[in-house]
Structures are given as structure tokens and as C-alpha cells.
Amino acid sequence: MRYISLLVIFIMLFTLMAVPVLAEDNTSQTTQQDLNIDNPAKSDISKGLPEVTPEQFSGKINGIAGKVYGVAANIIPYISVAVIVIGAIIGIFIEKARMAVLWAILGLIGVLWAPQIVGFVISLVK
């Protein structure tokens, strides 16, 4: 159990060190229009929350889900390769490390094929 804990800690440290390097620099600057500085009445919620149509709501949710998937699809392959390599090396000595390799492969497949899997499920439901 101690070896598995060390493996998990090593993978977490590797991930934390690799994420800033692998992250894309697509941060946008907040504009005056985003903050509604020129029109404080738009950003005042004391009058209640603004009405949102179902299309706006689903568009916002789809946008957030797309961004989360984009980040995951960019980072997961690197993490999976690291887990596969480290797990294969440690798997020579410890049998339980071989399961980490299997789960890394399944996780990679799950993340990269997520749009196709969701599309397939939606087509089955319809």
C-alpha cells in the first residue's frame, strides 16, 4: 500500500508541475463591456435576476462543458502517457501498478471519445 501511495503522490506532483507548462495562454482580458462599467444598471441585481431564455441557458452550459472538455482533452494525454510509462516500470516489480496502466488507458479512451459516446447515447435515446 505504501508503494501505491508513493506512486499516487509522484503522479500528482508531476501533474501539478506539468499543468502550467502545458496550459495554453488563451486568457482574455476583461473588457469594460464585460464589467458593465459604463452602464451600472446592467450589473445591478438588486432589481432581481435577469430573465434568461432556455436557449441562452443551454448555450452557456454547452460553452462551459466545451471549455472543460477542451482543457481535459489537452491535459489527459500527457498525464496518461506519464502514468503508463511510470506504471509499466513500477509494474515490473509491483503487480498493482499494472492496474494503474489499465485505468490510465481506459481514462484516456473515455476522455478522448466522450463526444462520440455522448452522441451515441443521444442517438439511442431518440
Which pLDDT does position 119 carry in this prediction? 84
Residue 88's domain spans which residues? 1-18+56-126
Does residue 21 or residue 118 have the better pLDDT? Answer: 118
DSSP 38: S
Q: Locate all alpha helices (DSSP H) within 1-126, ordered by sequence.
A: 2-22, 32-35, 40-43, 54-91, 96-112, 114-125
Q: In this structure, is residue 47 part of a structural domain? A: no
Q: Is the pLDDT of residue 41 over 60?
A: no
Asked if residue 32 lies in contact with residue 39, where contact means CB atoms within 8 angstroms, the answer is no
Which set of grid coordinates corresponds to residue 81?
502517457
Q: Considering the domain boundaries, does residue 34 fall inside one?
A: no
Question: Greater confidence, 108 or 36?
Answer: 108
> Is residue 100, in this structure, part of any structural domain at all?
yes
45 is a domain residue:
no
pLDDT-derived band at 32 (thresholds 50, 70, 90) equals very low
- What pLDDT was estimated at residue 82? 84
pTM strictly above 0.85: no
Percent of the chain topping pLDDT 70: 67
